Amino acid sequence: MNRYSRRSLLKGAALPAAGIFALPSLARAIQETSTPQQRPKVKITDVRTAQVLVHGPQTHVRIYTDQGIYGQGESTDAAVGTASLVHGFRRMLIGQDPLNVDALWEKIRVQGIFAGAQGGQYITALTGVEIALWDLAGKALGLPVYQLMGGKFRDKIRMYCDSDMENPVGAESDRKLPWIKERGFTAMKIDLDDATDPARFDKVNWTASNGEIDRMVSWVKHVRESIPKEMDLACDMHGRYDATTGKRVAVALEPYRLLWLEEPVPPEDIDAMADIRHSTTTPICCGENLYLRWGYTELLQKRAADIIMPDIQKVGGLSEARKIANMAQAYYVPFAPHCVVSPIGTMASAHVCVTIPNYLVCEWHWINHLEVWKTFVKEGEIIINGYVTPPDKPGFGVEMNEEVAKTVQIKGTTWFEPNNT
C-alpha cells in the first residue's frame, strides 16, 4: 500500500490543528533551556592568495578578519589571471561583514558586469572568494558549512574516479583499473578524444572518421569488460566534436549502458546537444564550462542534457552551485559536479553536495598526483571507500598542509602575502 496516498496526505493535513496550540509553550520551553548566542561581530581585514599547479592551476584564497580567524577557498582553471582579479576585489571586501556571503558575492558580480562578469576568469576569481567566505562563516558561527546551507540529505557523497589515461588499453589501464576498484570507487571515467589517433584525417577539424569511432568503441568495450559489472562508467569527449560525430558515438555506445557521455559537442551548441540527447538512450552530460545560473537556463529549458556537471570551483561558488542544482531539480535533472581540485575544494564541494537532493556523483581527478593528494590537508586522505564525508567541524573542517602545498606552488607567484599582486 502506498504510504503517502493522496487520502493519507489530506488526512494528515488536518493534524497540525492541535499542534498549533502547543507551539507557543514548546517555543517558550526551547528558549528557556537554550543559551542564546550572539551573532558574532567580525570584519574582513585582508584577502590573500596562493597558486598551485597540480591537475591544472588552482588559486587558493584566504580571507582574514579582525577576530583572528580566516576562511580558505579554492578556484580552478585560469588561475594566474584569477589571483590578480581577487586582489582587485579587496577594496569591496575589506571592512565588510563576511557573514553576508551572498550580498558580498552579488556586490562583486554586479561591479564587474561591464568587465566580463558573465563568466570566465572574473567568475572563477569570485568563486574562490565566495568559497573562502563560507569557510569563514562556518568558523565564525562554529558550524559546518553544510549546516549553514540548510542541512544534510546524506552523510557522505559518492565520488567517481577520473582515470586520467592517455590510452585506456594497455599497461597504464592494467595498473589503474584494479586500483580504482580496490579503492572502493563505484564509478569511473575515461576520455574518448585522442588528438594523436592515426585515423584522424585532419589536425584541426574534429569530425570523427569511422576509424576513430571504432577506436572509441573498442576503448569503452575494453574498460567495460575489465571493471565490475556494477561499476558505472562515464566517457568524456571534451566538447571537441561536431553534432554528427556526437550522435554517431552516442548511438554506437548504447550497448555499454554508460553513466553518461560527456560534452559530445561544445556546451554552447545547446540545440546540437539537445538533438544528440533526443537521438540516443546514452545519457548526455554537460556543464563544466558553463557559468552561473544563466549559463544553465537554456540548457535546462531545452532539455539538452540528462545530467548537469557544473564545476563548483568556477561556476560561481557554493550558493550558486546550489541554486543551479535546484533549477535542475525542477526539470528532474541530476547534479554531478566536475571537480579537479585539492582536498580543500573537494571538501567544499562535499559540504554543498550533501545539501542537494538531486546529487548524483562528484569527480575526483588527482589519480596521477596521489602523494600530493594524500598530504595536501593536515587531515590526510578524505576519500574513504569511494566517498567523502564532510566533518562536523566548523567551516569545511580541513586545513592546508602548507609544507606540501608549497611543493606545487606556481613559480613566480606569491604565497598568502599581504597586498600581493
Positions in the binding site for Mg ion (CB under 5 A)? 236, 262
Whether the CA torsion 242, 244, 248, 253 is positive or negative: it is positive
Whether the CA torsion 369, 371, 375, 380 is positive or negative: it is positive
- Residue 238 C-beta: closest distance to Mg ion, Å: 6
User: Which C-beta is closer to Mg ion: that of 61 or that of 237?
Assistant: 237
10 membership: H or E segment, kind and range: helix 6-13
- Residue 334 C-beta: closest distance to Mg ion, Å: 16
- Residue 309 C-beta: closest distance to Mg ion, Å: 7
User: Which C-beta is closer to Mg ion: that of 191 or that of 320?
Assistant: 191
User: Which C-beta is closer to Mg ion: that of 232 or that of 236?
Assistant: 236
User: Which C-beta is closer to Mg ion: that of 138 or that of 337?
Assistant: 337
User: For 131, phi and psi rounded to 5 degrees?
Assistant: -65, -40
User: Which C-beta is closer to Mg ion: that of 262 or that of 306?
Assistant: 262
- Residue 304 C-beta: closest distance to Mg ion, Å: 16
- Residue 295 C-beta: closest distance to Mg ion, Å: 15
Reduced 3-state DSSP string for 103-144: HHHHHHHHHCHHHCCCCHHHHHHHHHHHHHHHHHHHHHHCCE
Give CA torsion, residues 312, 315, 317, 318, to 10 deg. -50
- Whether 158 and 362 have beta carbons less than 8 Å apart is answered as yes
User: Which C-beta is closer to Mg ion: that of 236 or that of 306?
Assistant: 236
Query: Checking phi first, is residue 139 left (phi over 0); if not, alpha (psi -120 to 50) or beta?
Result: alpha
- Residue 89 C-beta: closest distance to Mg ion, Å: 28
Question: In whole angstroms, what is the distance from residue 403 CA to residue 397 CA?
Answer: 19
Cβ-Cβ contacts under 8 Å for 275 (sequence gap 6 or more): 243, 247
- Residue 69 C-beta: closest distance to Mg ion, Å: 36
User: Which C-beta is closer to Mg ion: that of 79 or that of 336?
Assistant: 336
User: Which C-beta is closer to Mg ion: that of 134 or that of 206?
Assistant: 206
C-alpha cell at 333: 535533472
Which residue of the chain is nearest Mg ion when measured via CB?
236
3 state SS of 369 = helix
Q: Residue 67's closest CA among 50, 36, 46? A: 46
- Residue 48 C-beta: closest distance to Mg ion, Å: 31
What amino acid is encoded at 46 in this protein? Answer: D
Is residue 13 packed enough to be buried (19+ CB in 10 Å), middle (13-18) or exposed (0-12)? exposed
